[in-house]
Amino acid sequence: MKEELTCAEQQLGGAKPSKGKLLDVPWNRAKDIISIILQIAQKETTKRGMLSHLAKIFDPHRLASPMTLIGKQLYHNIYDKKIPWDSQLPGLLLQQWKDWNSALTENLTVPRTLVPYHQLISSLTLHAFGDASAKGVSAAVYAIVHQDQGVTHNLICAKSRLAKKNLAIPRLELVAGHMAVNLVTNVQEALNFLPLETHCWLDVTVVLYRINCQGDCCQFISNRVNKIQQHNWHHVPTEDNR
């Protein structure tokens, strides 16, 4: 007996489309992956065109942060030079912008689900990493899911922003740790129906000492340490924190 089609399936020709959108993010239903579109048709090589390109990259979970941060840094360099909005970029900056565009993949694809197997979860651990340099501050949260059929590890979300000028690296690393805590707290709240274990990681021992220190600190440090002290912090070697 032929199975009856729903009204929506009849309108779509009797088959469910393999591609669609999930919260306005491209979603491949067949493979259950979401995509972040990075290469956008952009002919203008002006400051206005650069900003337009960066604004069109819709990445709510900041999964493409390592790539988009470079574009933001280039835009910041051009902004500092006070180039008019509709003037062509000068030679070196124009080449850097073109190199960045050509290095971008057409899109970034990631699995949508954290739990690929239809069975009970043995354990779920969240790992939040923070890192900083003189150019930028970033954080990322990964989930490790243990099930009888296997272990899955996926990037859940990330965040990055340009570093403030005149801040020492230890302070920027502390900002990265604070950013990591904010991210992992948001993920915990979203997954509050599951038993979770969380760990946070930094590669600067000076900052880890500050986090564990119980003494008096300056206002800048104490405002951030008070919150991030509530989590389990560990040291990760710099070469592994990339």
Tell me the three state secondary structure of residue 55: helix
Does 129 score more than 70 pLDDT?
Answer: yes
pLDDT mean over 114-118? 85
The predicted-structure confidence for 201-219, as pLDDT tens digits, reads as follows: 999 888 888 787 755 667 7
DSSP assignment string, 17-31: -SEEEETTEEEETTT
For residue 3, name the pLDDT band (cuts at 50, 70, 90).
Answer: very low
Q: Taking 70 as the threshold, does the pLDDT of residue 110 lie above it?
A: yes
The pLDDT assigned to 33 comes to 92
Report the number of secondary-structure helices (H) and strands (E) in the chain.
Answer: 7, 9
Picking from 90, 56, 58, the residue whose alpha carbon sits closest to that of residue 74 is 90
Residue 6 has pLDDT above 60, yes or no: no
CATH architecture of the domain 115-240 equals 2-Layer Sandwich (3.30)
| Nearest partner of 151 among 114, 198, 194, judged by Cα | 114
| Residue 5, C-beta contacts closer than 8 angstroms, at least 6 positions apart | 14
Q: Is the pLDDT of residue 17 over 70?
A: no
User: 15-24, 96-105, 129-138: which has the minimum mean pLDDT?
Assistant: 15-24
Residue 63 has pLDDT above 80, yes or no: yes
Would you state the pLDDT for residue 216? 60
Q: Per residue in 133-183, pLDDT tens? A: 999 999 999 999 999 999 999 999 999 999 998 889 988 999 999 999 999
> Over the chain, what is the mean pLDDT?
86
How wide is the angle at C-alpha 97 spanned by C-alphas 95 and 100, nearest 5°?
A: 110
Quick one: pLDDT at residue 180?
Answer: 95
- Report the percentage of the chain scoring pLDDT > 70: 90
pLDDT band at 13 (very low <50, low <70, confident <90, very high): low
- Averaged pLDDT for residues 88-105: 90
- pLDDT, residue 214, reads 58
- DSSP for 77-117? HHHHTT--TTSBPPHHHHHHHHHHHHHS-SEEEEES-S--S
User: What pLDDT is attached to residue 29?
Assistant: 87
Q: What is the mean predicted confidence (pLDDT) over 11-30?
A: 74
Higher-confidence residue of 41 and 88: namely 88
Task: List the chain domain ranges.
Answer: 37-109, 115-240
Tally of CB atoms within 10 A around 147: 17
Q: Between 1 and 199, where is the model more confident?
A: 199
Portion of the chain with pLDDT greater than 90, in percent: 47
Q: pLDDT class for 222, splitting at 50, 70, 90? A: confident
